[in-house]
Amino acid sequence: MATEQRTTSGQRRDDEDMRLIARIRAKDMAAFETLYRSYHVRLGRFLLRLVNRPTLVEEVLNDTLMVVWEKAESFNGASKLSTWIFAIAYRKAMKALRKQDDPIDDDTIEERVCLDPSPEDDVSHHRRRALLLEAMTALSPEHRAVINLTYFHEMGYREIAGIMDCPVDTVKTRMFHARRHLKRRMAGELPDWL
């Protein structure tokens, strides 16, 4: 039942995305603002976990959505709109990371672990999430992206491969190595996640 509800709500979101992108192609600012609000939080979480630099997140997010506005006609419908947008965000984030000279330690990562707590979240959920996010900081950006998109955005390997512009087997290999690293780092703290 829950899977059916998720599928139905996901289909509604996809249908709404398609209506919005059609209007954005016609330079409908209201449609763009609706899409922006719809993706802002999700993309922000994805980018924060990917780049580990809060100062870059808003810049990359805005650059990503500017591409959506300016290049809406280049979306050909071969994937879901979310896949196209996340792929743009991923490429923009990787480019921004390459431009950064000095690595910046984020001393506030533990304070920002859960960006959108829900009423049913309990202490153990926060602890597991904190341990996972802390362990993820040691991964490469590519490995972090695979874990992030799989566990936090519930995307499949094919969709992730589309976002990261690589073969599905590369995504599987990155997941294998990332999971192995996380298991070692977490010493059995999250066996049910991995």
- pLDDT single digits (tens) 30-39: 999 999 999 9
- The gap from C-alpha 38 to its chain's centroid, in whole angstroms, comes to 14
pLDDT band at 110 (very low <50, low <70, confident <90, very high): low
Between CA 170 and CA 21 the distance in angstroms is 30
Six token digits for residue 149 = 């998109």
Q: For the residues 9-24, what does the mean pLDDT come to?
A: 88
**Cβ neighbours of residue 168 closer than 8 Å, sequence gap 6 or more:** 157, 158, 161
Give me the domains of the chain, ranges plus CATH numbers. 1-101 (1.10.1740.10), 122-194 (1.10.10.10)
The vertex-20 CA angle with 19 and 21, nearest 5°, equals 95
Encoded amino acid at 62, one letter: N
Report DSSP state, residue 110. Answer: G
Kindly report, residue by residue over 129-180, the tens digit of the pLDDT. Answer: 777 778 888 889 999 999 889 888 888 999 999 999 999 999 999 999 998 8
Q: For the residues 98-116, what does the mean pLDDT come to?
A: 60
Between CA 102 and CA 96 the distance in angstroms is 12
Residue 104 has pLDDT above 70, yes or no: no
pLDDT band at 193 (very low <50, low <70, confident <90, very high): very low
At residue 188, the pLDDT reads 57
> Among 156, 114, 110, which Cα is nearest to 135's?
110
What proportion of the chain, given as a percentage, has pLDDT over 90?
Answer: 49
Select the highest-mean-pLDDT range: 12-26, 99-113, 115-129: 12-26
Report DSSP state, residue 182. Answer: H
Cβ pair 80, 86 in contact under 8 A: no
* Burial (CB count <10 Å: 0-12, 13-18, 19+), residue 174: buried
Kindly report, residue by residue over 82-92, the tens digit of the pLDDT. Answer: 999 999 999 99
Q: For the residues 65-71, what does the mean pLDDT come to?
A: 93
pTM here is 0.62
Encoded amino acid at 145, one letter: A
Between CA 115 and CA 123 the distance in angstroms is 15
